[in-house]
Amino acid sequence: MQHFSPEELKDKVSTPMFQLIGQVADELGMECYVIGGYVRDLLMNRPSKDIDVVVKGSGIAIAEAVKARIGHGAHLSVFRNFGTAQLKWKGQEVEFVGARRESYTHDSRKPIVEDGTLEDDQNRRDFTINALAICLNHDRLGELVDPFGGVMDIEDGIIATPLDPDITFSDDPLRMMRCVRFATTLHFQIEEETFEALGRNRERLKIVSAERIIVELNKIMMSDQPSRGFVELQRSGLLELILPEVAALDVVETKNGRSHKNNFYHTLEVLDNVARLSDNLYLRWAALLHDIGKPLCKRWEPLVGWTFHNHNYLGAKLIPPLFRRLKLPLDERMKYVKKLVDLHMRPIAIADDIVTDSAVRRLLFEAGNDIDDLMTLCEADITSRNETKKRNFLNNFKLVRIKLKDIEEKDRIRNFQPPVDGEEIMHLFGLTPCREVGVLKTELKDGILDGKIPNEHDPALAFVIQRAKELFQLEVKETPAS
C-alpha cells in the first residue's frame, strides 16, 4: 500500500468538493468526516466512485446547506426515512448521514438506529479496513481516525471485523458475503477469528435475501481470480447453503486404487481460465456450473473406471431451477448458460476424433452465435496436468476452429434457416400440416448438416421432392416457385 504522510492525506482531501463540505460543516459547528470504502480505496490508490460523509448531527441539514452553497449545478435527493441525503455534483456522488449507533434484533438485518458519535458509527462498520475516517473540518483537515488498526490491516492484506466477529456477522449476516467478496477482489486473507466466525454463523445467512447474496456473488464472479472466493465459501461452509450443487463437487472417490479428479477444484481452475479470457459474467457462470451434473451420474464401471455419462445434459437441466432460486435472470441469459453447459463436451468429442465437416456443421447449428463462447469454455476446460495430452487437445481445437470458420463461410450455418420451409413443402404437395411435413423438414435439415446437399434453395427443393417420392410416394401438385 502507498504510505501517505499527514500532509499528503490533507492534500488528498483538499478537492473543491471536500473543501466546501468542510467549510459548511465548520459553519454549522458539526464534526464531519469522509468514511468507509472511499477512504480505504484512497489509501490503496484504487479508483472509488461514491463518497460517504458522516457528521455529528443531521446529515440532511448539512447536505441541504452544501446544495444551497453550490446552487444550480448540484442535484440533491433527500431520504427522510433513512435520515440520509445524496448530492450529485460534477460527476461525483456524495452520501450524507448523521453518525449513528445501531442495535439489532435476531430475526432481521434491519437495525434499530439512534444518533451516536463517530466512534459508534465506526463500531457498526463491517471491517477494520472499512471503518477508517478522515476529518474534513478545517482545524483537523486530513486527520485519520483509525480506531481498529485498519491501516495496518490494509498493509498486511487482512480482512477482520472491528468488534467480535460473531456479533458483527450475526447482527447482519450479509457481512459474511461481503467478507469473502473483499478478500477476493482485494486479494486479502481473512483473519483467523473472523474466518472461524463465518463457519459458526453460516446458518444466519438464511435471513439474507437472495437478491443481496447474488450481488456479492456476482462481484466475486467478476473479480480477476474468482476461485479465491469460492475456496473461502467452501472452507467456511457457506457455499453449501448458497450453491450446494457446486459444493457437492468437492469429493474424490477411490476404487481399486483409481480415483477420479476433484471436480470442485477442476471447476475453479476452469472458472479462473475463463476469467482470464472474458469479462462476460454469464460465460463465467457457465464455467462455474459446467460440471454440476457429475455427482448425479457418477458410476464405477469395472472395465472403464469412473464415468460421468450425460453429465452435461443433467447439468443443463439443473440450470433453470438454480437460476430461479438464486434470483438470477430467467431470460436469454439463463438459456445461454443452459446451452453452454449442455454443449460443453461437444467440441472436445469432436477434437478427440477425426474432425469431420458434418460434426462441425452440427455443432455450429446447435451453438449458433454462442459458438465462440462455447469454444472459450471448452479450451478453459482442459486442465490436464499431462502436457502432451493438453497440447494434443489444444492443437485439435485449433483444427476445429479453422474448420468452424471454413464451414461458416461456405455454408452459413450459424443462424441456420432451412432454405425450404414447411409452408413451401405443404404448398408443393398440396398438404395441410401433418407428420409427413415434419419428417421432410428433418430430412432436409439433416441432409444439409451432413453435407449431402448444399445450404441453397434449388438443390434443397430437389432433395425434398426426391425424398417425398421415396418415403411417401408424394408427387408435386403445384409448380414450385424458384
Contacting residues toward ligand ATP, per CB under 6 A: 36-37, 50, 52, 125-126, 130, 172, 174-175
CB 42 to Mg ion: min, Å: 12
Check binding of 37 to Mg ion (CB under 5 A): yes
Nearer to ligand ATP, 50 or 458 (CB): 50
Nearest residue to 273 via CA among 261, 262, 286, 256:
286
- Residue 172's binding partner out of Mg ion, ligand ATP, none, with CB under 5 to 8 Å set by partner kind: ligand ATP
Nearer to ligand ATP, 149 or 295 (CB): 149
- Residue 130's binding partner out of ligand ATP, Mg ion, none, with CB under 5 to 8 Å set by partner kind: ligand ATP
Check binding of 125 to Mg ion (CB under 5 A): no
- Residue 121's binding partner out of ligand ATP, Mg ion, none, with CB under 5 to 8 Å set by partner kind: none
Nearer to ligand ATP, 128 or 376 (CB): 128
**384 CB-contact burial (10 Å; exposed 0-12 / middle 13-18 / buried 19+):** middle
Site residues for Mg ion, window 399-438 (CB under 5 A)?
none
Q: Whole-angstrom Cα distance, residue 312 to residue 292?
A: 8
Enter the DSSP assignment of 455: S
CB 218 to ligand ATP: min, Å: 12
CB 342 to ligand ATP: min, Å: 34
Instruction: Report the residue number whose CB is nearest to ligand ATP.
Output: 37
Helix-, strand-, coil-residue percentages of the chain, each rounded to 5: 60, 10, 30
- Residue 174's binding partner out of ligand ATP, Mg ion, none, with CB under 5 to 8 Å set by partner kind: ligand ATP
Please give the C-alpha separations between residue 76 and each of 24, 36, 37, 50, 100, in angstroms, as whole numbers: 16, 21, 21, 15, 22
Amino acid found at 340: L
Residues across the chain = 482
Enter the DSSP assignment of 368: G
- Grouping H, G, I as helix, E, B as strand and the rest as coil, residue 201 is coil
Nearer to Mg ion, 37 or 142 (CB): 37
Check binding of 50 to Mg ion (CB under 5 A): yes
CB 133 to ligand ATP: min, Å: 9
Exposure b/e, 198-223, CB count within 10 A at least 16 = b: beebbebbeebeeeebbebbbbbbeb
Find cell 463462447 and name the residue: 373
Number of residues near Mg ion (by CB under 5 A): 2
**Cell numbers describing residue 214:** 447474488
Instruction: Report the residue number whose CB is nearest to Mg ion.
Output: 37
Nearer to ligand ATP, 2 or 432 (CB): 2
CB 130 to Mg ion: min, Å: 9
CB 242 to ligand ATP: min, Å: 17
The Cβ of residue 311 has, within 10 Å, a number of other Cβ atoms equal to 22
CB 208 to ligand ATP: min, Å: 10
Nearest residue to 18 via CA among 118, 116, 134:
134
- Residue 175's binding partner out of ligand ATP, Mg ion, none, with CB under 5 to 8 Å set by partner kind: ligand ATP
Please give the C-alpha separations between residue 340 and each of 16, 244, 309, 372, in angstroms, as whole numbers: 50, 20, 17, 11
Site for Mg ion, rule CB under 5 A = 37, 50
